[in-house]
Structure 1
Amino acid sequence: MLIEKLMVAYMDTKANHIYYLDKNEQTILLDAIETGGLPNLEFLDAEEPDRFIEIPKVMNVESFSWMVEFESFHQNSELLHALNEDEPFKRFTDKVIELGLHEKWQTFQKDKVKNRIEMWLIENKVIEMQKQPE
């Protein structure tokens, strides 16, 4: 359940939304940036500086690489063409829908996001890497 919530926070591209994971409570907190451009950060605890960690946001370059990988997997010239047009994110999405690949794209993207969040949790020592069977 936590991973799904982290995935939503990761994919939220609103510039004024900053999400934090409370490592102690395993909850996600949203800190909306005020009109002056500064975060509220009222919940941060000076006595426990490592308790809250900022959840990263997906970067355009990462999203674009997923689209390229999806196109490469499907070998579709229409998708490739969409990636090379102006506004490639919109064009790609429109083309995926037009070609009836929307559900496959959603599943592909969700798997990429889940993998990214799991690695982030391991990197930040929130969860330990599962030992591989020998």
Structure 2
Amino acid sequence: MFIEKLMVAYMDDKANHIYYLDTAEQVILLDAIEPDGLPNLEFLDADEPERFVEIPKVLNVEAFSWMVEFESQNQNNELLHALNEDVPFERFNEKVAELNLLEEWQAFQKEKVKNRIENWLIEKKLLELQKQPD
């Protein structure tokens, strides 16, 4: 369940949302950016700066590469055409639904996100948090 919560934070594409992992309490905190464009950061502890680690967000280039890989595995011209349209994310998702590939796409994407989060935990030397009970 902990990994799933990290995955949700990673996939949240709202520009005003910044997620932090509190490594001491092993919880995920949301910091919504103020209307003036500055983060709240009220919970950050100046005495323990390493305690709070910003959770990365999925990059468009990464998400697009997943769509390309999914299309490549399915060898579907309609998906390929969707990737080359003006709004490829929207068109791709529409085509996935039209072609009844939504469950497969969601499972594929979930696996990619899970791998990315696990790698991030390793990079940040936080792998032991992955094994925490919920």
- Superposed CA deviations along residues 45-98 of structure 1, whole A, max 9, x for unmatched, are 111110000000001000000000000000011100110111000100000000
**Structure with the larger RCO, 1 or 2 (CA within 8 Å, 6+ apart):** 2
Distance in 2 of aligned mates of 1:17 and 1:115: 22
Q: 1:25 deviation in Å?
A: 1.2
TM-score (structure 1 length as normaliser): 0.94
SS in 1 for 2:28: strand
SS in 2 for 1:25: coil
Displacement over 4 Å in runs of 4+: none
Name the structure 2 match of 1:131.
none
Letter in 2 for 1:112: K
Name the structure 1 match of 2:9.
9
Distance in 2 of aligned mates of 1:5 and 1:111: 14
The answer for unaligned runs of 5 or more in structure 1 is 129-134
Name the structure 2 match of 1:103.
103
- Indicate the RMSD between aligned Cα atoms, in angstroms: 0.7
Higher helix share: 2
Matched, 1:55 2:63: no
Q: How many residues align?
A: 128
Distance in 1 of aligned mates of 2:57 and 2:94: 23
Name the structure 2 match of 1:45.
45
Distance in 2 of aligned mates of 1:37 and 1:49: 22
Distance in 1 of aligned mates of 2:35 and 2:99: 42
Distance in 2 of aligned mates of 1:55 and 1:80: 31
Distance in 2 of aligned mates of 1:127 and 1:93: 32
TM-score (structure 2 length as normaliser): 0.94
Identity value in percent: 77
